[in-house]
């Protein structure tokens, strides 16, 4: 049974990594893999001898002696438990994505253009890298990458020069997303899973993340591409939305409020995100010329945006394929976890690998393992890697190992263009060649990743 489940996961994951070659969206193999894995477990539940209780973080003793009916009840309970935990992440992401789309509906991100006044290539490099670093911590690295590349396309006409800026934005966005609980899907998973708190994530990872960006940024500053000045493109004569600035600050403030809400109420983050979405949506409807009633849509002004209200239109633009992909991959990993495979793998790895770099009792996992996880995240998606680590390790909340995993998984993906959501979206927006990125950007990301890891290990020894 275990061999069948592992084979299904490997085949499904291989199909995900070969998405471009197979010309099928990665959500398709993810959903099929998830459904088939749980179906095989259900049909062969009588032959399953071990089961991991995720709620208790331990193996169920004497599971092999249970009847098939008892095993089926435990399976159903585990499935509901994992679906609930996965739904928390998905609902949170839907809320954050909708707020960002509402801001974009009012052209809120155009406000950022006002800060770009210099024509120095080096200053533009530092400005956009800094924006990517801090903006990704607020609206997540994927969204920050989309926003800043869109702005770059309006500022820099030369594509070759622009691609170098895009590569640096990917590094900066991934570094910025690592130290914020809402900056990257993986850190959000760890935060919602009660593995890290917002304050300690900031405390442990801000400096390593800054170093992860600072090293490649300093090197790039002396490269020929970023010397001299450039002539920006002529700005288009599009009337500015009167509510753009207000919606930008309101939306970003609402997202930043979510960790504060969680700290005060101790409720899951998705509750705070839904509150923030409701407030932003209310102001969006007030600022919009479109009003809704039970019978249909009423149009007042602005016929170009009056077909649907801002909330309805923003919801329609959400990346639903990404949401379904996360559902498939997280539930597939949950199947591996429930059968105890991840727990057994973690036990074997702990026994086989030396403990290096730390003597902390709360961080028994080798630093080498976490660094290898960072390298792995550049080849395969960091979401399943972090999802697997949630079931593999039982360290308490805010153990240094969880922060190191957040750093490694979040920033390691920068080493290849396919290794992170930010890289993938940049690849699509600018048609970046895989080998071009490997030649021009990967080595910069590697130096930054290793430098940040060293800073983390040093900080952990003194905090």
Radius of gyration of the chain (CA): 23
**Mind listing the pLDDT tens digit of every residue in the chain (463 residues)?**
888 998 998 898 888 777 767 888 878 998 999 999 999 999 998 888 888 887 776 788 888 888 889 899 999 999 998 899 889 888 888 888 888 888 888 888 777 666 666 678 888 899 999 989 998 888 778 778 877 887 787 778 788 888 999 999 999 999 999 998 888 888 888 888 888 888 888 889 999 999 999 999 999 999 988 888 866 544 554 556 788 888 888 988 888 888 888 878 888 888 998 999 999 999 998 888 654 443 444 444 444 454 567 888 888 887 788 788 888 888 888 888 888 887 777 666 656 555 444 443 344 446 787 888 888 888 766 776 777 777 667 678 888 888 998 999 889 989 988 778 788 778 777 878 778 888 999 999 999 999 999 999 898 888 6
Distance CA 199, CA 216 (A): 27
Residue 136 domain-assigned (yes or no): yes
What is the full DSSP assignment across 168-234? HHHHHHHHHHHTSTTSSHHHHHHHHTTSS-HHHHHHHHHHHHHHHHHHHHHHHHTSGGGSSB--PPP
Phi/psi of residue 220, nearest 5 degrees? -65, -30
Domain extent at residue 225: 89-318
Residue 203 domain-assigned (yes or no): yes
The total number of structural domains in the chain stands at: 1
Phi/psi of residue 230, nearest 5 degrees? -135, 160
The CA–CA distances, whole Å, from 463 to 247, 363, 440 equal 39, 14, 36
The CA–CA distances, whole Å, from 176 to 184, 235, 384, 424, 430 equal 9, 29, 20, 17, 21
Which pTM does this prediction carry? 0.72
Residue 449 domain-assigned (yes or no): no
Residue 128 domain-assigned (yes or no): yes
Which three-class secondary structure state does DSSP give residue 381? Answer: coil
Residue 147 domain-assigned (yes or no): yes
Take residue 45 and report the two structure tokens written for it: 């539940």
Distance CA 15, CA 13 (A): 5
Residue 361 domain-assigned (yes or no): no
Residue 110 domain-assigned (yes or no): yes
Residue 131 domain-assigned (yes or no): yes
């Amino acid at each position: 049974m275990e061999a069948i489940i592992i084979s299904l996961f490997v085949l499904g994951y291989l199909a995900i990594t070969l998405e471009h070659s197979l010309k099928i969206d990665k959500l398709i193999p993810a959903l099929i893999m998830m459904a088939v894995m749980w179906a095989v477990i259900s049909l062969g539940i009588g032959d399953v001898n071990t089961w991991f209780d995720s709620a208790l973080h331990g193996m169920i003793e004497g599971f092999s002696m249970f009847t098939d009916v008892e095993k089926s009840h435990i399976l159903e309970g585990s499935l509901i438990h994992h679906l609930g935990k996965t739904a928390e992440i998905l609902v949170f992401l839907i809320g954050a994505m909708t707020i960002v789309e509402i801001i974009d509906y009012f052209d809120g991100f155009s406000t950022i253009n006002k800060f770009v006044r210099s024509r120095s290539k080096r200053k533009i490099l530092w400005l956009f890298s800094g924006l990517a670093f801090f903006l990704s911590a607020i609206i997540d690295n994927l969204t920050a990458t989309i926003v800043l590349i869109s702005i770059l396309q309006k500022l820099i006409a030369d594509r070759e020069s622009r691609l170098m800026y895009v590569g640096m934005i990917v590094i900066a966005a991934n570094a910025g997303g690592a130290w914020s609980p809402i900056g990257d899907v993986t850190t959000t998973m760890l935060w919602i899973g009660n593995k890290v708190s917002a304050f300690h994530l900031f405390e442990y990872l801000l400096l390593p993340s800054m170093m992860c960006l600072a090293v490649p940024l300093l090197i790039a500053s002396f490269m020929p591409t970023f010397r001299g000045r450039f002539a920006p493109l002529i700005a288009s004569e599009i009337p500015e939305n009167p509510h753009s600035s207000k919606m930008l600050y309101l939306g970003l403030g609402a997202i930043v409020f979510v960790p504060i809400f969680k700290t005060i109420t101790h409720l899951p983050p998705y509750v705070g995100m839904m509150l923030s979405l409701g407030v932003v949506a209310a102001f969006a409807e007030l600022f919009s010329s479109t009003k809704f009633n039970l019978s249909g849509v009423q149009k007042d002004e602005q016929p170009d945006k009056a077909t649907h209200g801002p909330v309805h239109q923003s919801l329609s633009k959400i990346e639903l394929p990404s949401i379904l992909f996360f559902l498939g991959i997280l539930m597939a990993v949950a199947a591996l976890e429930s059968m105890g495979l991840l727990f057994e793998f973690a036990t074997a790895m702990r026994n086989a690998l030396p403990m290096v770099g730390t003597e902390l009792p709360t961080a028994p996992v080798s630093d080498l393992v976490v660094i290898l996880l960072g390298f792995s995240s550049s080849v395969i998606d960091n979401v399943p890697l972090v999802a697997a680590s949630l079931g593999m390790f039982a360290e308490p909340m805010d153990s240094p190992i969880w922060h190191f995993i957040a750093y490694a998984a979040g920033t390691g993906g920068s080493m290849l263009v396919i290794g992170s959501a930010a890289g993938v979206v940049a690849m699509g927006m600018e048609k970046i060649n895989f080998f071009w990125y490997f030649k021009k950007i990967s080595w910069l990301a590697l130096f930054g990743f290793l430098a940040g890891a060293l800073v983390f290990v040093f900080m952990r020894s003194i905090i």
